[in-house]
A = this chain, B = another copy of it.
Amino acid sequence: MSQIFSYRQLLDFARNIFLQIGCDEENAALASRVLLSADLRGVDSHGIARLSGYVRLWDAKRVNACPQIKILHETPSTATVDGDSGLGLVVAPKAMRIAIEKAKQVGTGWVSVQNSNHFGIAGYHSMMALEEDMIGISMTNASPLVAPTFSVERLLGTNPICVAIPAGEQPAFVADMATTTAANGKLEILQRKGGVAPPGWIQDKTGKSSTDPHELKAGGALLPLGGDKEHGSHKGYALGAIVDIFSAVLSGANYGPWVPPFPAYVPMPTYMPGKGIGHFFGAMRIDAFRPAEEFKKHMDQWIKRFREARPASGFEKVIIPGDPEREMENVRMINGIPLLGPVVDDLKYLAEKFGVEMVNVKS
C-alpha cells in the first residue's frame, strides 16, 4: 500500500517545490530540511504529506515565500518576532536561532513569534539547541480541534511542546508531544483504516466520550491529555492553554478559537485578534547553570538509570523520550521513507502543477 522513497530524493523534490513557489535557495533548503525531518523521525503527519497543503496556503495567498522576518521588540534575553506570513518551516528555525544567540550572550533566550504558519515538527527547532550545549524548547499553537474540560467547543489546537536536553555518551533526551491524549495524526490513521479510537481520545458534539474517529469531523473534538476530569484532563487543557498564551498572547498572534486553519479550503475565522499563528522558543545554555561536562555526566546517569528500570510484566523496557524517533531516523535514512498512495498522488499533482520531475521509487 505504500511505496519507499529515498530521503535525499524527497528532500530535493520538496526543495524544488519551495523554489517554485518563490522561496530563495536558502529558505527552500531550510524548509525542505525541516519538513523531511518529520518523515525521518516517523512523524509522517507533519512531513512531506503536508507539502501540498503548504502549496495550497501559498495559492490562497496566505503564505509569503519571501518573508522579511523582523524583531518587533527585544531585551537581552527576549525577542518578539514578526514572521511576515512566511512558512513556519522557515520562520521557526530563524526565531530559534535568535533564542540561541541571546542565550550565548546572557545565558538564556526566549522568542515569541506572531504572523507565522505551521512550523512542521516541534522537535527540529528545539534540537537546534543541542549542538550548542543548550536545552531547547519549542511550542506552537494551532487551529482549534480540542475542547477544554467540561466544554463541547473546540478552543485549542493540539498545541505541542518539545523539550530537547543534551547528554554526554547517551543520545539526547527529546520529548516532543501534543498536549492532547492522542495527536491528530493518530486519529487520521484510524479514520483512514476505519478503526476504533480508545476512549479518552475524542468526544462527540454533545461532549460525550466517543470511540468513533469520524466524530471529530461531525462536530466533536479531540480531548486534552488526561481524557476526562477524573484522569486529569484539566492538566492537559492547562498545558494546551499555556502553549497558546506563550505562543500567541505574548507575541500578538491569533489564539484560542481564532487561530487560522491549516487547510486552505477551510474559511478563515471572521474575527481575528492577532496576526497568523504563534510559536514560542527557548534556549538555555547548560553552562549558565553548571559546567556542561558535569551536567552531561549526570544526564548520562539519569538516562541509564531509567533505561535500566525493571519493566512491568508484558513490556520490554522503559523508553527514553526521543529514542523511537532517533531509531526511526537511523532506519529511514538508509532504508528510505514509506509514503502512502494518497501522499504519492499529492506529490505527482505537485510535479505536474509546477512541471518538475516526480521522484522515483527507491530501487
Binding site for B on A (CB under 8 A): 72-78, 80, 105-108, 110, 112, 135, 147-153, 155, 163, 165, 173, 175, 177, 179-182, 198, 200, 203, 206-208, 225-227, 230-232, 234-239, 241-242, 244-246, 249-252, 255-257, 273-274, 284-286, 288-290, 294-295, 298-299, 301-302, 305-306, 309-319, 321
Given contact pairs A225-B225, A231-B231, A302-B255, A250 touches B290 in the complex (Cβ within 8 A): yes
Given contact pairs A175-B242, A284-B78, A231 touches B200 in the complex (Cβ within 8 A): yes
One of B77, B206, B230, B257 near A312 (C-beta < 8 A): B206
Q: Are A251 and B151 in contact (CB under 8 A)?
A: no
Complex Cα spacing A225 to B236, Å:
9
Q: Are A150 and B78 in contact (CB under 8 A)?
A: no
Nearest residue, chain B, Cβ from A230: B198
Can you tell how many copies of this chain the complex includes? 2
Minimum CB–CB distance from A96 to chain B (whole Å) comes to 16
A232 / chain B contacts, CB cutoff of 8 Å: 177, 180-182, 225-226, 236
A245 / chain B contacts, CB cutoff of 8 Å: 165, 173, 299, 302
Q: Are A75 and B107 in contact (CB under 8 A)?
A: yes
Q: Are B150 and A312 in contact (CB under 8 A)?
A: yes
Minimum CB–CB distance from A76 to chain B (whole Å) comes to 4
A289 / chain B contacts, CB cutoff of 8 Å: 73, 78, 80, 112, 250-251
Given contact pairs A106-B106, A226-B225, A238 touches B175 in the complex (Cβ within 8 A): yes
Minimum CB–CB distance from A147 to chain B (whole Å) comes to 8
A226 / chain B contacts, CB cutoff of 8 Å: 181, 225-226, 231-232
Given contact pairs A78-B288, A289-B251, A302-B249, A318 touches B148 in the complex (Cβ within 8 A): yes
Q: Are B298 and A273 in contact (CB under 8 A)?
A: yes
A78 / chain B contacts, CB cutoff of 8 Å: 107-108, 284-285, 288-289
Minimum CB–CB distance from A330 to chain B (whole Å) comes to 20
Complex Cα spacing A108 to B106, Å:
10
Minimum CB–CB distance from A276 to chain B (whole Å) comes to 15
Minimum CB–CB distance from A189 to chain B (whole Å) comes to 14
One of B108, B155, B203 near A305 (C-beta < 8 A): B155
Complex Cα spacing A250 to B294, Å:
9
Q: Are A106 and B75 in contact (CB under 8 A)?
A: yes
List 10 A-B pairs, minimum CB-CB distance, nearest first.
A207-B312, A75-B107, A175-B238, A150-B315, A78-B107, A76-B106, A78-B288, A151-B309, A77-B107, A77-B77
Q: Are A288 and B149 in contact (CB under 8 A)?
A: no
Complex Cα spacing A208 to B312, Å:
8
A80 / chain B contacts, CB cutoff of 8 Å: 289-290
Complex Cα spacing A239 to B227, Å:
17
Nearest residue, chain B, Cβ from A314: B207
Complex Cα spacing A287 to B321, Å:
34
Complex Cα spacing A155 to B320, Å:
13
Nearest residue, chain B, Cβ from A226: B225
Q: Are A249 and B299 in contact (CB under 8 A)?
A: yes
Complex Cα spacing A147 to B313, Å:
13
Q: Are A235 and B231 in contact (CB under 8 A)?
A: no
Q: Are B106 and A290 in contact (CB under 8 A)?
A: no
Q: Are A153 and B310 in contact (CB under 8 A)?
A: yes
Q: List 27 A-B contacts (CB under 8 A).
A: A74-B288, A75-B106, A78-B285, A80-B290, A108-B110, A148-B306, A148-B318, A149-B319, A150-B317, A150-B318, A151-B312, A152-B309, A152-B310, A155-B309, A163-B238, A175-B238, A177-B235, A203-B312, A225-B225, A225-B235, A239-B239, A245-B302, A249-B298, A256-B302, A256-B305, A273-B298, A273-B301
